[in-house]
Amino acid sequence: SQPSCGSGGSVKISASTAAAVGKSEADDAVAKSAALGFKAGSPVYLDMESYDTTNTSCNNAVLTYVRAFDKELHAKIYRSGLYGFSSSSAKAIATATSKTDLPGNLWYALWDKTNTTTSDWPWGSTQFTNHSRAHQYMVNSKETRGGYTITVDRDAWDAPVAITG
C-alpha cells in the first residue's frame, strides 16, 4: 500500500485502516518470504514511494502503517527495513520524533551517483549505524554485459539481506 497523498500504488493508506493494513501486509510479506526460503531473522524491506510529508494527516497514517508492519514482522521473528526517498518516506522515518516500532534498516534513494552509505547520509551520523543502511545512488543505468544492454539501478549496501539454507 502507498500513501493517500502520493502517486504510487493502487491501495492507499488511510488513517482509519493504516494499522490493520500494515499488520495484514506484514503477515503476507512473511508468508511470501518464507515460501521463497527466507528464514526467520531475514529482513523484509517495505517500499514506500514518494509523498508529501508536510501533509500531517497523510504522514501520520504512513507512520502508523509502517509501525504496524514493523511490529508484526518482529512478532513473526523477521527484521524490518524501509526503502524510500531521502526527500520523503525515508526522511519521515529518519526524522520521526518517536522511533518506537520503526524499521531498523533504512534504504534511501538519493540519486547522487555516490557509491556510499556514509558520506552522503542525509541525517544524524548516529542513526541507522551498525550495518543498517543501503543507498540507491543511481537509477536507469544502461550497462552492457555479455553483449546485452540492460537497465539497472545501483545501490551501496551495508545492511542485512535474506537468511536462506
* Residue spans per domain, the chain: 2-158
Alpha-carbon span 43 to 29, nearest angstrom = 10
Topology at the third CATH level for domain 2-158: TIM Barrel (3.20.20)
pLDDT above 90 for 165: no
Lowest mean pLDDT among 5-14, 32-41, 81-90: 5-14
Collapsing DSSP to helix, strand or coil, 152 comes out as strand
Alpha-carbon span 65 to 57, nearest angstrom = 12
Residue 10: band (very low, low, confident or very high) from pLDDT cuts 50, 70, 90: confident
Query: From residue 24, how far is each of 56, 73, 80, 93, 112 by CA, in Å?
Result: 24, 10, 15, 20, 35
- Taking Cα atoms as reference points, which of 27, 32, 120 lies closest to residue 72? 27
Query: From residue 6, how far is each of 19, 87, 123, 158 by CA, in Å?
Result: 18, 13, 23, 28
Contacts of 87 (CB under 8 A, 6+ apart): 50
What is the grid cell recorded at 84? 524510500
- The neighbour count for residue 29, using CB atoms within 10 Å, is 20
pTM of the model: 0.93
